[in-house]
Structure 1
Amino acid sequence: MKIDFTGKVALVTASTGGIGLGIARGLAESGAEVIINGRSESSVNQGIQHLQQAVPGAQLRAAIADLSTPEGVETLLKVAPDVDILVNNAGIFGPQDFYSTDDATWDNYWQTNVMSGVRLSRALLPGMVRKGWGRVVFISSESARNIPADMIHYGVTKTALLSLSRGLAKFVAGSGVTVNSVLPGPTLSDGFAAMMKDEVEKTGKSLETVAKEFVMQNRPSSVIQRAATVEEVANMVVYVCSEQASATSGAALRVDGGVVDDIV
């Protein structure tokens, strides 16, 4: 199977590191022009430099914008008014006791994790429909179906993305545009590495070993019994954006290592 995005323009939100950067690299390696988004000029430049080294000759474009506000989305759309592929990866996470999670925190998570994708899809889907081809992917999480008690506010936003992607897939049915969500489980991302930094330093163990122990303690239903790599998650996203995945729409595609214990 050869995936070729030559002539396609892809926007990956929050793509200066972690899963977003991995997705951007996978799309660039397959020939897409990729718009790199982050909240600061330094982070975007760093992401672009990384990709230029990893994928020589990659076509890259910078889009500096904080997508937690309508104004930030408008700023991004000035750089990316028309794309073929939209990967809604922007999101925040963090544990917090439900009783102490105030309205401002709930709203911040909702605006960043959900409304950024709503606003971008509303603006960019019409162009895809007119062309008769397009791909929209929402990066959800296994926490959408396996709601963590210490991150209820996060889990709720990720569940919302499943409804959003399914509804949009039906909304553009028959247009040649597909809409799907991808649900990573514990992944060796930059954010996970930062969360595990103290444990790695304290024990002297590798990040991979600490991550495996975390999975076995906190996600014992995992079938692969380890954390996924960024590349493993990115591979699923690249595939679902491809021409080869044209019959997949409205799906919730799990890259959770089998954490969610069901057969569907």
Structure 2
Amino acid sequence: MYIDLSGKRALVTASTGGISLAIAHGLAESGAEVIINGRSDDSVNHGLETLRSALPAANLRGVAANLDSAQGVETLLKQVAGVDILVNNAGIYGPQPFDEVDDATWDRFWQTNVMSGVRLSRALLPAMMTKGWGRVVFISSESARNIPADMIHYGVSKTAQLALSRGLAKYAAGSGVTVNSVLPGPTMSDGFEAMMQEEMAKTGKSLEELAKAFVMAERPASVIQRAATVEEVANMVVYVCSPQASATSGAALRVDGGVVDDIV
């Protein structure tokens, strides 16, 4: 399948590393103009350098803005006139016992993981609908379906993204704009690699070996019995953003390796 996104402009939020940088790479490789976003100029510049090194001819630019508040989203929107593709990836996570998660933490997760996508979709979706073409994608998580006991606040925010995505798909019905969620499972991202550095040094095992051991211990329902690569997740996102995915909307598309034990 040849995916051609020439002439399309894409915004990928929090896209300076990991899964989101792979998504930006995939969209740019398919011909889209890609706007990457990070919290700081340094992180944005690093992401741009990484992409330009791999794709010298790519049409790229970056905007530094922290999307955990309305003000941060407004900062981004002032520099983004309009897009054809919006990938809502901005998010935070972290384990914490439920009884220790205070209101401020709940609000911080809600503002970053949910409201950033609400605000950006509210600002950018109507123009897509008027134009008759667009793609909105929320990067959720298998934790939206398989709520982790040690990250209930995170799981709730990810489930909310599924409801938001489905509702927006109905809102955009018949307009030529699709709205979907993609649900990664255990993935060998930059964050996972950083977490495993000490273990790799201590055991001499590769990242792939440690990731597989993690999956078998913590997600034994996995069908592929390993962690996904960031490219495997990005492939699904790029497809959903493509013209070929025009009949897919309102869906929660899992790239979880079969961790969620469900046939639908």
Return the alpha-carbon distance in structure 2 between the equivalents of residues 119 and 256 of structure 1.
27
Pair 1:178-2:199 in alignment = no
Distance 2:150 2:197 in 1: 20
In structure 1, the partner of 2:164 is: 164
Q: CA deviation at 1:240?
A: 0.3
Per the alignment, residue 4 of structure 1 pairs with: 4
Shift of 1:111: 0.5
1:85-234 aligned within 5 A: 85-234=85-234
Question: What SS does the corresponding residue of 1:254 show, helix, strand or coil?
Answer: strand
Query: Residue 193 of structure 1: SS of its match in structure 2?
Result: helix
SS of aligned partner of 2:27:
helix
Q: Percent identity between the aligned chains?
A: 78
Give the TM-score of the pair, scaled to structure 1: 0.99
What is the TM-score of this pair, normalised by structure 2? 0.99
Aligned twin of 1:71 = 71
Question: Secondary structure of 1:261's partner?
Answer: coil
Extract structure 1 runs of 4+ deviating beyond 4 A.
none
Matched, 1:247 2:257: no
Unmatched 5+ stretches in structure 1 = none
Shift of 1:79: 1.3
Amino acid at match of 1:145: R
Counterpart CA distance in 2 for 1:20 and 1:13 is: 8
Deviation at 1:196, TM superposition (A): 2.2
Deviation at 1:195, TM superposition (A): 2.3
1:31 aligns with 2:31: yes
Alignment partners' CA distance in 1, 2:145 and 2:199: 27
The amino acid that maps onto 1:24 is A
Alignment partners' CA distance in 1, 2:47 and 2:167: 32
Is there any run of 5+ residues in structure 2 with no aligned partner, and where?
none
Tell me the amino acid that sits aligned with residue 71 of structure 1: Q
Q: Please give the alpha-carbon distance, in whole angstroms, between the structure 1 residues aligned to 2:80 and 2:4.
A: 21
Q: CA deviation at 1:78?
A: 1.1
2:49 is matched with 49
- Which residue of structure 1 aligns with residue 18 of structure 2? 18
Q: CA RMSD in A?
A: 0.7
CA positional deviation for 1:192? 1.4
Deviation at 1:61, TM superposition (A): 1.1
> How many Å apart are 1:194 and its aligned residue?
2.0
Q: Which amino acid letter does the alignment assign opposite residue 21 of structure 2? A: L
